Amino acid sequence: MKKLKIVTIGGGSSYTPELLEGFIKRYHELPITELWLVDIEEGKEKLEIVGSLAKRMVEKSGLPIQIYTTLDRREALKNADFVTTQLRVGLLEARIKDERIPLSHGYIGQETNGAGGLFKGLRTIPVILDIDKDMSQLCPDAWLINFANPSGMVTEALLKYGLNKKIVGLCNVPIGMEMGIAKGLAVDSSRIHIDFAGLNHMVFGLKVFLDGDNITKEVIEKIGSGEINIFVKNVKDIAWSKEFIEGLGVIPCPYHRYYFQKEKMLEVELEEYSKGETRGEVVKRLEADLFDLYKDPHLNVKPPQLEERGGAYYSDAACRLISSIYNGKGDIQPVNVRNNGAISSLPSDAAVEVSCMITKDGPVPLTMGELPNAVNGLVQEIKAFERAAVDAAVTGDYSKALVAMTINPLIQSEKMARILLDELLEAHKEYLPQFNLK
C-alpha cells in the first residue's frame, strides 16, 4: 500500500489526540507514514504539548508513524495526500466575543448560528482560502477535509472561490444523530442508516433504517416520547414536544433548537451569560484542564475527559472519510459537498450536507429530492444567508455583511443587524483585514 502523508492545520487543538487515536485504530487500512501538526505562533505552546502527547501515543502503538510539528504551513504541505483543517481564527477569545456581544443585546450568541456564526465565517474563510491556494501549489492532488466551523459556509466559499476541486466539509453532528438513535433503540450503530439532507448544523434525517427496514415513524415517536434523545455537548438539551416532532415528520439535528425553540434557547443562554458561563467560557476552562492533562509525560492515550469538549465522534467522522476515499470503499457517509441536484430545492452549485457514496474520486451525493415543505423554507433562508456571508468574507464589503446579518433568521432586523455588525467588526478587527478597519 502507498505510504501516506497527512497534514493537520490547527494541530495544537485539543481535538488532535482524538484524531490521532482514529488514525492509529485504522492503520491497517490507512498506512500513515507522516502526520504533520501545524499551528501559528500564538498556538506554539499548545502545539508542543499536543505534539509530545501524539508522539507518546504513537510510541505506545508501536506503529511507524512519524509526528512532525511546525509553524511553517508551506513546509508541511509539500506533497501531502490529505490536509485536515480544524483551526479557530482568534482562538477561544474570539468565540467568547461571538457569544457575549449578541447576548448583550438580547440575541442568541453562538459560534455557528446567528451573528456569532457570521463572524466566525468572516474570520475563517479568508484563512481557509489561503490554505487552499498553498495546496494548489504544494500538493495539488491532495484532498482538503475541512472540520473548521462554520463548516458548511467554509465549504461554500471553497466551492465558489477556491482553486482545488478535492474539497469536503465535515461535521460530527450526523454521526452523533446515528449514535443517539442507536442508543435509544439499544442496537449497534452499524445497523442504523439515515438518509441525511440539508446544510451543516441544519441537517435533517429524512428516513431511518434498521437492518434495511424503514423505522422512521417509530424513531420519530420515540423522540417525541423522550425514549430517544439526540444531543451534543455544546447545545442545551431541550426536549421536543410530541406534537411538533410528529408534525415535522423528519428528524432535526440538535442545532435546530436555535430556530424552533428560539425563546427557550435564548433564555438559557442569557442565564449562562449572566454567570460568565457561555459555552466559549466553559470550553476555555475545559481546555485549560485538558492541556494540564496532556502535559503529563506518562499520558500516552486520549484522556476520557476530552469527551466533555463537544467533539464526540470527530475521529470517527474524519478518519472514516479519509479511509473511505483512500480505499474507494463506496460506503455511505454524510458530508458537505456541491449539491449537484441531490436536493432539488437548493441551487445545484450550493454546498449541502447530504448522504454521499464515498469513492476514490471523492463523495458522490445521493439524490434526496425536494426537502419536506415544513423545513424547506428555513433551509433556503440559511443557504441565502451563507452565500451572502461568503461574498462578504471574500470582498470585505460592509454592505454585503449587513445584508447577511439582516437576513439571518436569528436577527431579521436591519437596525439590530447594523448594531451587532458594527460592534463585532470592532471587536474582531485584528482578524478582519479585508474590511480595512482602522
Measured CA to CA in angstroms, residue 203 lies from 25, 85, 190, 254 at distances of 28, 21, 20, 9
Q: Among residues 207, 231, 200, 215, which one has the least CA distance to residue 383?
A: 200
Rounded to whole angstroms, the Cα distance separating 62 from 259 reads 48
Nine-digit cell string for 101: 456581544
Question: Count of CB atoms within 10 A of residue 44's CB?
Answer: 13
Judge contact between 309 and 233, C-beta under 8 A: yes
Rounded to whole angstroms, the Cα distance separating 9 from 134 reads 12
DSSP string computed for 203-266: EEEEEEEETTEE-HHHHHHHHHHTSS----TTS---PPPHHHHHHH-SEE-GGGHHHHTHHHHH
Rounded to whole angstroms, the Cα distance separating 274 from 106 reads 12
- H/E stretch holding 34 reads strand 32-38
Q: How far does CA 323 lie from the centroid of its chain?
A: 19
Question: What residues contact 186, with CB distance under 8 A and at least 6 apart?
Answer: none
Catalytic residues: 255
| DSSP 8-class letter at 343 | B
Q: Among residues 242, 185, 173, which one has the least CA distance to residue 209?
A: 185
Nine-digit cell string for 4: 501516506
- The beta strand positions in 65-114, using DSSP E, are 66-70, 82-85
